[in-house]
Structure 1
Amino acid sequence: MSDEGRLVAERYRLVERIGRGGMGTVWRAADELLGRQVAIKQLHISPHLADDELATLYERTRREAQSAARIAHPNVVVVHDVVDDRSVPCIVMEYVPSTTLADVLKRKGRIEPEEAARIGRGMIAALRAAHAAGVLHRDVKPGNVLLGTGGSHGPGHHADGDPGDHATSGAHRAVGRGPLGDGRVVLTDFGIAVASGTSTLTKTGELVGSIDYVAPERVKGGKPGPASDLWALGATLYQAVEGRPPFRKDTAFETAYAIAVDELPPLRHAGVLAPLVEALLDKDPDARPSAETVEWTLRAAAAEA
């Protein structure tokens, strides 16, 4: 039986499923109290989960909302509420009519450096705001970059249903103008983000995030930091201009090994972005440029292009 039309928390009417992944389903919903459209992310609960695993999933969902709610910035999705739905926590978010960078790259293969620079500026602005609030994203990837397409529904949010999948499986509906959107770039899905000063939600040795975008220090078991998010930004920009993640191999293990030890494959289509992407993908986190430098360089690259 479909959940379409069902009322959640006596307030949110589920209208249309817009994303689905291993850990969650995202719906466009109508807020019947305030008369606006929202997105609701429902957590998937396996009946075979142990109590401690179930508690971890619950805590991850609540922490996603808490982390995102600490960041007030137009390039970060707005979190409105956290509600219980049949004993499962759900996050109520801004609804952004959008496509994702992952969907665009799947369709087009790669994009031009000037467009990648524009998208990168939105991403680095979001990361600077997050890091200033003491929040690490830890899953920056093309599937978590929303490209607003305008449309008749007004501002809102389409979120990746699964923050931890190796490949993004959430579907994002494009509404309105143009293949690359109307200009708004939104970083979403803080589902595995960790606020500074809080304990991690991973078991010893477990990597959280999509392996193609996991920084070398994390592959080697080190503690993630802001520089790890910047490495993931570099990997995302590399894929945007080259058409594939920089270190992807046939298996996740081989990819992780390549990230840790292999030289960066040469950039052939990056143009003015090449020096920045190479710097972001430095194996040494201390050698990567600061977020401020990244933002300045992206603006200069766009002006040069």
Structure 2
Amino acid sequence: MELSPPGAAEAASPWYTNSFVITGIVLFVLFVLFGIFLGLQRRRRRHVRAGSAQRATEVFSGGSSQPPAVSVQEAGAAAWSRFTLLEELGRGGMGVVWRARDGVLGRQVAIKQLLPPSGAAPGAQEAMRARMLREARAAAQLAHKNAVTVHDVLQDQGSVLIVMELVQAVTLGAMVESEGPLPPARVAAMALDLLDVLTAAHELGIVHRDVKPANVLVQSDGSIKLADFGIARFQGEPTLTEAGAIIGTPAYMAPEQIRGLESSPATDVWGLGATLFYAVEGLPAFGGPSPTAAMAAVLTDPPLPPRRAGEPLGPLLMRLLAKDPADRPLAPRLRAELSELAQIL
């Protein structure tokens, strides 16, 4: 009888025994790594959703959201030294809006950087800049629950900085786009709040000139604020249109604005009517394939007939959109009509 040498039994073990052990270890390691990967992905998605939700509600004025274009250091002006810019919230024809940390106030704010139109002559730009500063300081005097609060007004080398409260809200335009037209009763209540803040501005001699869905901020509790008094001006002053720049959004500009004529409280009534029309109907009262076509429609065409507003809101909207400013109802008569309408609806 032959005896096997020591270790021969182990050597004779099937080759796949060790293979199974190694495979099991590899699978276990892969399983652990996969679990870690899934956990990281879930955390990343939560972070992205939270960031998106924050950007969607930190709204101040119109424009497309973009990554920050400059930092405080790059701005280089003393006016910027108290701020830490966090992100760009919007950009439009008159400037840029930033979300920033104010080291003096100790809180987050919105900063609107107003810039004169680049096409204007140097002398005209300086005159516009001086008037922007004067008008921004005047807007800071407007204290109303339905107006975005202005904390401070600063002058940069080539621009005016308006430091405002950072409103947690969505724009009326975004709300209608996502949820559809609003009920007439809600639109009537909204109209009263907007008329109140516009009346307060008019009593100070300030005309907003850019009332539109993108400037109506709807907060989570349903209350609203009117934003962007940054292009407002005093009655009787020259318009930027006369200097070669048209201020406003075509479908929401009154005929007299497009013609470069004097703006008045009736101009804001037009913007109010156009905004309310959009809120209740879900589309502008005037439109076209281009800004020029929209302006032509405002000047020459009647507004679209309201189909959802019903009585008596529909006929009132048509009066607010009268071509002649003298034919538009003004406060306090307009407020009395809206109050009665809100009780009926």
The TM-score, its normalising length taken from structure 2, stands at 0.70
Question: Equivalent of 1:273, from 308, 313, 319?
Answer: 313
Deviations 1:84-122 (A, max 9, x none): 456543111122111111211222342221221222122
| Structure 2 counterpart SS, 1:222 | coil
State the distance in 1 between where 2:190 and 2:209 align. Answer: 18
**For the Cα contact (< 8 Å) 1:40–1:93, is it kept in 2?**
yes
Partner of 1:23: 94
Quick one: structure 1 residues 292 and 11, their matched pair in 2 at CA, closer, same or farther if it must change by over 3 Å? same
Quick one: structure 1 residues 300 and 134, their matched pair in 2 at CA, closer, same or farther if it must change by over 3 Å? same
What CA RMSD, in Å, does the superposition of the two structures yield over aligned residues?
2.7
Pairwise CA distance, 1:45: 7.4
Partner of 1:296: 336
Pairwise CA distance, 1:53: 5.0
Partner of 1:219: 258
State the distance in 2 between where 1:117 and 1:44 align. Answer: 35
Partner of 1:103: 174
The letter of the residue matching 2:327 is A
Alignment of 1:1-305 (within 5 A): 3=70, 9-43=80-114, 50-52=121-123, 54-56=125-127, 58-59=129-130, 61-85=132-156, 88-148=159-219, 181-203=220-242, 207-271=246-310, 272-305=312-345
State the distance in 1 between where 2:119 and 2:297 align. Answer: 34
Quick one: structure 1 residues 222 and 23, their matched pair in 2 at CA, closer, same or farther if it must change by over 3 Å? closer
State the distance in 2 between where 1:217 and 1:84 align. Answer: 31
Quick one: structure 1 residues 76 and 102, their matched pair in 2 at CA, closer, same or farther if it must change by over 3 Å? same
- Structure 1: gaps (5+ residues): 149-180
State the distance in 1 between where 2:217 and 2:71 align. Answer: 24
**For the Cα contact (< 8 Å) 1:19–1:26, is it kept in 2?**
yes
State the distance in 1 between where 2:289 and 2:330 align. Answer: 32
**For the Cα contact (< 8 Å) 1:67–1:193, is it kept in 2?**
no
Pairwise CA distance, 1:256: 2.3
The number of residue pairs the alignment matches comes to: 273
Deviations 1:195-251 (A, max 9, x none): 134333332675422111122233345322111110111111111111111121223
Give the greater-gyration-radius structure (CA). Answer: 2
| Structure 1 counterpart SS, 2:187 | helix
Q: Which has the higher contact order (CA 8 A, sep 6+)?
A: 1
Report percent identity of matched pairs. Answer: 43
| Structure 2 counterpart SS, 1:34 | coil
State the distance in 2 between where 1:60 and 1:103 align. Answer: 31
Partner of 1:170: none
Pairwise CA distance, 1:136: 0.8
Pairwise CA distance, 1:50: 4.4
The letter of the residue matching 1:102 is G
State the distance in 2 between where 1:9 and 1:207 align. Answer: 29
- Structure 2: gaps (5+ residues): 1-67
| Structure 2 counterpart SS, 1:191 | helix
